[in-house]
Amino acid sequence: MDKERVAINGATWKKPITISAPKYDQVSEAILAVLGSEPIRFSDLVKLVEKELPNFDGSVSWYTVSVSRELEMRGKLVRHAKPVRYSRPN
């Protein structure tokens, strides 16, 4: 089991969660590689991340939502409201 962990924070979360640092790195790189300036739905984002990480060990959708919240907190991703869509900041 990997001992290196990354704390993930969401804007409305009461406390952070921790995930494997290598998995965080893989998913965050994949998210940033597939996101453009045009907002896309979460389901489309997950499909694109799955294509980037075909042999990923874990739930791509769970890691995508978790990592996307951290990227949003860091200003590297924009979450648009209703319907929720994601894009890179301008």
Give every CB contact of residue 87 below 8 A, 6+ residues apart in sequence. 35, 36, 37, 38, 39, 40, 77, 78, 80
What strands lie across the sheet with 85-87, from one edge to the other? 40-41, 85-87, 78-80
Q: What total number of domains does the chain contain? A: 1
Residue 51 sits in which domain range?
5-87
Q: What is the CATH number of the domain that holds 71?
A: 1.10.10
The predicted pLDDT at position 2 comes to 60
The predicted pLDDT at position 8 comes to 87
Query: pLDDT digits over 9-19, tens only?
Result: 877 778 888 99
